[in-house]
Structure 1
């Protein structure tokens, strides 16, 4: 419906609060009257959204928008506005107004902002993509250009080389695939940087080696992921990349063989260096940085060697217990055979004194990573660690820079975006999170709790004992610890009737492990003072006792805060930390704090859960009320929508969220935040400790 100026004025008066800010809305109303219905609705909607952030920005936009419509379409205007609002969030009103008024600068970047793909928008999808590929787990991070250090794939903040956003996303995906292939198929090894440095012209040698590897890796991707490779070829055509010269194609033909390795590229490097014109770089190949890889290898190789040897020690101890034997010098061997039917493309068999042993998933991943670096398991890796030789925690500690990326407000603080539902966009770098430890209180709280719930604890322990890892005997295996009689009889019959026999004649024990990592996010706001705080602490004690028996990985963090600039996360128990005297004292030390700004806490703990390699990841919140903060801007719908968006972000990384609350009104807002089936309301505070263990059992067995 077309609006007249008289109809538009009261709308602008309301959203621009003309009664208090004394803006004359008649002029922009007359300008908006000249627009068609669609443009009118679009501009008025954005005036509302901008004014929810700042009235002056909204008023300036209302005056400028009609003339801007003559130069930009709706999508470009949206990008222009969001840039200005982002400036307001980060730098204040004056830079935001300058960004709004500098239309020419924005127009010069228009294609990049409309057709381009932003890393921050696509990182979730790309992370899922790279997680689905075989080989060592890789992280994604933003950088000025594309490359990998063999543990992280670095990508530019925006890709806008092509005219369509879909194609620019495909280019991101092709970048990821090619850089993954470098790590998966052995482009990097200890000594690559030294090899390149030994050439008279190291820069040209590196460029040539990279071009050779592009040929080899493209052939591997074509065989492994033919559908993706077709997209990559279409991208090359979109960039009008010239066909390599015949001399180059003839030289590199051996690299397209299925058994070609990086050493074939190395062997061709001297001849290839003599070619006058190398092929143009492909649109997705990025750069090679052997020095960055060497820095990572210097840390990874000793770490993985120690972890692998320690894992062998544990396997030997476990095998000896099962066989009721003592073993002074266990002899390990690793047999590796290609097997395209398996996710990693390799069949890995570990034998101890010629007896096969079944390594857990984390050891298989370790083997895969070592093979990617060396092409085999070196002999010195097959010697288990001796007593006191190695402590796994020496390699578990990480500097914060290894885990977190992005801007720091100050040392020890982390910056997160926050979702503004009125804008339908994020407030950039809006919340400041600081992580500290809970001050421990060494008292008798834990013993008193165990005594208080002693009968309940007996039942919990019995229930959780039944959930522990169980052993299953797998039949018809190619190797194993005993003969499968049924399979043997069938094979004997087949042999005597002239039919082909099956060599799967064994059975072996397979341990089904619970591979779960759960993060407990505990509300430490001021409203938990009294019974709620005590019930939360008692619940954590009972859960910890049960989980220690069950063997699930778990961490406990509390959260509270006051305003977006002081979002506090309290470390109670980390994943690798034992449940001992210190953790028990921290549980006792959980005290009520300030307010409940949930979004930043969820985003922070999501980052921690992302680091876990568990198959199942849970984020369980213990709370007593809806999201709120000292300033009213986080009350009501705003806080609920930001929390919901943070939970959606967690879900994109495979993290399942659940909320346990004692808020009687929880059913009014929790379905919007967590979903209909992902929360439970405990109507009596005192029953929380009795209920929480049962809820956890149901969550992890459904």
Structure 2
């Protein structure tokens, strides 16, 4: 064995151009530390040991050691490490083409295609990046190869930052797909690769490395102890189900509605059952001052009603907007007439909050968008919504087309009492944003409101998305169709997007008059107040 280690050390020196000490250690994973390579005693045959040495040399030649890891979570570290492994191996094979066969010969058997766990997806990605002729039917795996090859062609294999960026994209996708990652159980799938501890500096990590992937273990932290009295509400799966409703969904490629395609599940949030003491605590946390709302313009005496389906005169403003819509290739509003009318017109506004997981991300001022959404909704309801006769606050999130969760946090016409405050204050963000199904359900609820101004105002932080849809335009077109269906039913749909890059998709969905963009989330309460009053006063 000693002679074998000496030969491997000579191999490392020949490839790296520097002295590399090769030793053995108990365990199942190689460890590279400085210029010392520790090979597991149980390593396979000579071919696998040569591949381990070649991989370590690739890091010594092309990786920078001990990069700070505090900016990444455990899953992010694992994906960045896997992309870095592939990058340096490809650089080494460019210099020594014969080494590619060493890595290819050490590949483990292909994982079961039905296995969508984290380790299986990374193993499938490794295979596609190492064997260009291999194929895979998984969208994420194919996206990884496409981004890797495009970055290699455009930025070059030497550009670490470019590959770090695509690794962040891939890690974010896995988070959106809600792929479960257990740092303590994860081991790098490729048997010739080391534990990646050479790449990272974990600072004051308090979990020692072992034969499993050391970097993930160092990045993991046990949950802090919690007081039973401060237990968080139960997860969405334990919410009480109130009813299920099926809705169609627009298929942009087939250009038709798929009937009964999405299931909207109305649920009673677990936080409705909070104890009185906890309700009071939630109320105190969300204590707010009334907001000065703009006064909506109601009809209180004889008035010319504009934008009517029929009437005794043409509404010139509406006619001009039809011409503008036709130039923009948008569907024009066919209400071109005006007629005499009198008396007040009741207004009903439903504020629909995006409760997807992305709303939990902290903003520039450390407050998450979800916190600001809740504050804005409470401000609007506590201010008695001057000009709005009936105000409702609902929320939604989705976990594929089979589970679009819908929460009725404040019913239309109900006062903002302590339980409603506690319910809104305790709501959490989960899952994804299947916007079309939620808009259809909200519009169906609004049809039961008294005749008059009926509107749904959506507050979101991004384009519609879900884990079972990979075409970025698919859900945008479906949401656009849902808005058109609501308009035909007499319900106006509008949107406030807390996303500086939202103009393209919100204009496509809601039309150019029915949205506004809040670049700063802190402006959301004021924008929500103005937009709600405008919708209530529209005529």
TM-score category (smaller protein): 0.3 to 0.5
Structure number with greater Rg is 1
- For normalisation by structure 2, the TM-score amounts to 0.43
- For normalisation by structure 1, the TM-score amounts to 0.33
Larger fraction in helix: 1
- Greater RCO (Cα-Cα under 8 Å, separation 6 or more): 2
